[in-house]
Amino acid sequence: MSRVVYYSQPDHRVQLAEALAPDDLDVGVVDPTLSWEERRELLADTEVLILGGLAMPYEELTQLPNLKMLQLMSAGYDRIDVPAVREQGIFVANNSPQIARSVAEHALGLMLTVQHKFMPGFEGVRDGTWREPVRSGVYEVGGKTIGIIGLGNIGRLVAGMVRGFGPAEVIYHDPATIPAEVEAELAVRRVGFEELLESSDIVTVHVPLYSETRGMMDARAFSLMKESAIFINTCRGPVHNEADLIEALNDGQIRAAGLDVFEEEPTPVDNPLLSMDNVVVTPHLAGSSEERVERALIFSYQNARRVISGGEPEGQFEVLT
């Protein structure tokens, strides 16, 4: 039997991880709140470590002599020093395809919530002002130009979903080469970064966080957007410069934003974004659907099997600088 550890604080997902564990893998659970001495003893024989939404310091990873792979439950890998871990001969893999639908649906939900003023509408019903907060300024998603930054697993699903709301032009920007057949299937058009910002009614970002994407949505980027445009971010908070976003929203450079992520998480309660009428926020839960968790666990166990048997995992990271 081979040792696979699900590294997570006790919650209902731990029970799911244990219930889905295949018979041919020796799967255990380790609580990260234990002392390092306790964890090191429990992790001594670990070959595959499944990080349940957590990170582990590089210094600790190097003390696990049998470790062959870090398997993330998330799509992002910004909390792992991938090059350093790979230098130790340890694979690193993510769960991007398994998380994609949950995040894409959440992005679409933020678009709808902002465009249709769901939150002010709810408040109006609750406090008796009825339609006053939403008598004007309600817009549709259908028929708009949707700009997708990052046409990976999530971006592609978003492209398909927005078409369900009626005719729309979907444009995208991605430094990677997207096959022509994928563009044709999704009916999307590749444009430059600046053209996307200038042309889009809705800009939604779906990129990994690394040096080239950190702060890519800054004051200049927001200044290029239409004043009527909205900004959606469900990937990583540092992809947008928060101070610049706040200024753009206050100055009317863009109309509104829907955010699932922040530069600092949990974000401080005095963050100006939390009190702005033209901003909808959620607490980094776009990828938290129960279906996603089950898909990600099953994929993680399949990947563990591949690595333990001498193969390479799916979902390996391209090392980005």
Q: Give the span between the Cα atoms of 259 and 245, in whole angstroms.
A: 11
Q: Is 284 a catalytic residue?
A: yes
Marked catalytic residue, from 264, 265, 290, 314: 265
Residues 6+ apart with CB under 8 A from 270: none
Q: Is 236 a catalytic residue?
A: yes
Cβ-contact 204, 154 below 8 angstroms: no
Q: Give the span between the Cα atoms of 170 and 55, in whole angstroms.
A: 35
Residues 6+ apart with CB under 8 A from 88: 61, 62
Q: Is 47 a catalytic residue?
A: no
Marked catalytic residue, from 156, 236, 255, 292: 236
Marked catalytic residue, from 39, 106, 173, 284: 284
DSSP track, 100-156: HHHHHHHHHHHHHHHHTTHHHHHHHHHHT-TTGGGSS----STTSEEEEE--SHHHH
Q: Give the span between the Cα atoms of 275 and 272, in whole angstroms.
A: 6
Active site residues: 236, 265, 284
